[in-house]
């Protein structure tokens, strides 16, 4: 099912697909886009939580920073000044 740009814009503008006011959560099963711009374009983009891949995106957004911290701290403090004098 292919939607025209006009149809996509109509889905995006429908208040029923937006929840929680200022948070800007978008949930529309008919919209095939994974990312949509927020209602206030200066605020960037948001994930269409009804999209099949949305869960993977949210898990990735959570896991990647955690992995960076784990890898960065896994050195055990053997950085600058650890050898002593």
- Residue spans per domain, the chain: 5-61
pTM over 0.95: no
pLDDT in tens, 53-74: 999 999 999 999 999 999 999 8
Pairing between β-strand 35-37 and β-strand 25-26 as defined by DSSP bridges: unpaired
Q: Which strand (E) or helix (H) includes residue 11?
A: helix 5-13
Query: What tokens appear for 41 in the block?
Result: 């374009």
Rounded average pLDDT over 19-29: 82
Place of tokens 């927020």: 38
């Amino acid at each position: 099912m292919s939607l025209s740009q006009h149809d996509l814009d109509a889905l995006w503008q429908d208040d029923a697909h937006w929840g929680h006011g200022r948070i800007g959560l978008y949930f529309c099963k008919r919209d095939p886009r994974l990312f949509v711009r927020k209602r206030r374009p200066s605020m960037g983009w948001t994930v269409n939580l009804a999209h099949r891949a949305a869960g993977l995106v949210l898990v990735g957004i959570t896991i990647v920073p955690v992995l960076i911290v784990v890898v960065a701290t896994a050195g055990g403090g053997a950085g600058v000044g650890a050898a002593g004098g």
